[in-house]
Structure 1
């Protein structure tokens, strides 16, 4: 793997998932990430015991690992002059400053843009927020469940219009992880710009902006037609070969054959119903679309007669676009996932083996190797030693509670 971020140092003053996951991604690509944690409790994610739907096994805190792999941890009291001075010294040696602190907190801690730029005029100042740096709610915090999922229109788009309940996010940190990729891409773009022009710019990504980008096509259609976007009613089909069908054993098959008339005869043959290809109701694309409800009902009845593995075999060489709908466990062992290294093996600090998703972008034809997240304050002596502090100086900082 080409470590495209090798030689880049990132100073992170952030916690939870949205922003830390961005530097974790860049750490996998070779960046040196120094994570500043609260001097007593550390990153709040360290103490998270539940994702909201499932308890987190404490022997491997995979939610924390996902967002903090490959970093170095230093726990500081940022409210002390000495702790702030250490942050300033680290900023002077860094390429990127990354934070998710609210504007009022940044001001209180003296880590605003001008404060950090006073230490290093060439640093890329990056912030991740709930609703953006400007506007009446710039100083209001948020989670991806709120700003990304509900406020940006994602929840309404995922919820069938005839549903009595609102669909929730499909996974913990769903919007956070998508937003983190956006932050990481922004940082890489800013570094490229600095390399080409010599100008150090800022990067600003919010959960709201990321959600709106994910809904970009729907949002543009909504604005153009003056119609809010919402998921179609349950069971709605605009095309019999687009959507999902349940199998005999309760599994699902997904189809996305936009040119339904072209693929219909072949699909009918795979179903064991070749006569449907010449049925006047479905003989060409126009008639198939006109009678799409009947065609969909026939497909639903046929797919319900056999288990998923039989359909997998029957449709193995189908030229249309389809897939078996998989769980996360199945995705992790999918032959394509394995062949491309999309899941990486590693061990935590205690030596317990586990697996995590690899960075989605690959350079040099290989997946980025993943390293474990740091223990709390694991690298204090190392990082402070790099700043020129000797043993006695570090010990003094620890005794006075400035360093954990």
Structure 2
């Protein structure tokens, strides 16, 4: 996307993550942050009980992930003297990207009509909680509400008898998926403009991304005409296959099995486990018998897996063809050999010159890993970008005296 300029007026992760992906792909992404307050996410010191910043350093992963590769301009859009600068940035941009609510957009005069009056060819992109139309179009939303709760993921994980609903497994979980979705929409809009000459208005909502993530279940409910029945999950395995589902190892870790052809993989599992006798057991002699006696087989599998450690099993199972995976924590994901072999854990140098690492976006071109640069410090590029627009030193100073620029 070299040669594409994106002007971003957005906060937190959902929409800024899209800008980060576009920056990974080569776009020049200019992030407008409020001249005094900056992106609201800069003020989050702890998330999920963990400090968000690296002590004694400017490295701030909660900002680095959704903002790497951008340039930050501190601009108070509510100040009249900032308007000319904003309009010049709009004129020089291909894409305008925002997650501000309709009321704020109208107040700041950054809505579709306002921006298109300045640049009729610009692609206008809105990220929202619940969509641009309907009764909740003016309502704000986070991924925990619009994506996780309203989109069906939370209900899909919550069993009837539990007292506590499962939470999202990671910070900005739905936001990150939503940002990737927006980036894809922008790529399509840029192609459409090149072919047709017409710019698009692109809308992506967290609710829509949430429904897309749970679409299989939603589509089933639509087909049956009502809520799906509660899932009665056996303690181990599935109703017809002992080699599906999670099993706990001797040291309390988990393995996930997904061997969808029990007749094919049962003998292999028995061999790897040192229990060839089970492959000859009449209860498990062929696929129909395995399916009929899946519950008994699953109990045996649980006992076998529970007798050895996680490390032992990852070594043993690596010699088979059946599909399985280690259940990894965040640190183990960061060290995953396949992620690293594919350049999906990428190096980045922070503002102090120290080498760090971040997760790269999952899309690659020509089998080439993305090259990342750090996220900007607050308003780091204000002078640089405004000088590019042709502002003099006197004009820059006056904007700062007015409180319109940082």
TM range (shorter): over 0.9
Where does 1:104-123 land on structure 2 (aligned, <5 Å)? 104-123=103-122
Name the structure 2 match of 1:270.
Answer: 272
Task: Tell me the alpha carbon deviations over residues 337-362 of structure 1, each in whole angstroms, 9 at most, x when there is no partner.
Answer: 11111101212212343211011100
> Residues 387 and 229 (structure 1 numbering): CA distance in 2 closer, same or farther, change over 3 Å?
farther
**Does the 8 Å CA contact 2:130/2:206 hold for their aligned counterparts?**
yes
Alpha-carbon offset, residue 227 of structure 1: 2.4
Instruction: Please tell me the root mean square deviation across aligned C-alpha atoms, in Å.
Output: 1.4
**Does the 8 Å CA contact 1:247/1:304 hold for their aligned counterparts?**
yes
Name the structure 2 match of 1:214.
Answer: 213
Where does 1:350-369 land on structure 2 (aligned, <5 Å)? 350-369=352-371
Does 2:228 match 1:228? yes
**1:354 partner SS:** strand
**Does the 8 Å CA contact 1:162/1:234 hold for their aligned counterparts?**
no
> Residues 291 and 136 (structure 1 numbering): CA distance in 2 closer, same or farther, change over 3 Å?
same
Task: Tell me the alpha carbon deviations over residues 74-93 of structure 1, each in whole angstroms, 9 at most, x when there is no partner.
Answer: 11111122212211111111
TM-score (norm. length: structure 2)? 0.96
Match of 2:246 among 244, 249, 253: 244
Name the structure 2 match of 1:260.
Answer: 262
Where does 1:317-396 land on structure 2 (aligned, <5 Å)? 317-396=319-398
Distance in 2 between the 1:395 and 1:229 partners?
A: 65
Match of 2:43 among 44, 47, 51: 47
Matched residue count: 400
Distance in 2 between the 1:83 and 1:350 partners?
A: 31
Distance in 1 between the 2:176 and 2:267 partners?
A: 41
Name the structure 2 match of 1:164.
Answer: 163
Give ranges in structure 1 of 5+ residues lacking alignment. none
Task: Tell me the alpha carbon deviations over residues 149-187 of structure 1, each in whole angstroms, 9 at most, x when there is no partner.
Answer: 001111011223432221110000000000000000000
Task: Tell me the alpha carbon deviations over residues 195-229 of structure 1, each in whole angstroms, 9 at most, x when there is no partner.
Answer: 11111011100000000000011110112122237
**Does the 8 Å CA contact 1:100/1:128 hold for their aligned counterparts?**
yes
**Does the 8 Å CA contact 2:81/2:402 hold for their aligned counterparts?**
no
> Residues 231 and 375 (structure 1 numbering): CA distance in 2 closer, same or farther, change over 3 Å?
farther
Distance in 2 between the 1:75 and 1:231 partners?
A: 51
Alpha-carbon offset, residue 232 of structure 1: 4.8
Name the structure 2 match of 1:33.
Answer: 29
**1:121 partner SS:** coil
**1:346 partner SS:** strand
Distance in 2 between the 1:77 and 1:71 partners?
A: 18
Give ranges in structure 2 of 5+ residues lacking alignment. none
**Does the 8 Å CA contact 2:154/2:167 hold for their aligned counterparts?**
yes
The list of structure 1 runs, each at least 4 consecutive aligned residues, that deviate by more than 3 angstroms after superposition, is 228-234
**1:287 partner SS:** helix
**1:218 partner SS:** helix
**1:22 partner SS:** helix
Distance in 1 between the 2:48 and 2:310 partners?
A: 31
**1:281 partner SS:** helix
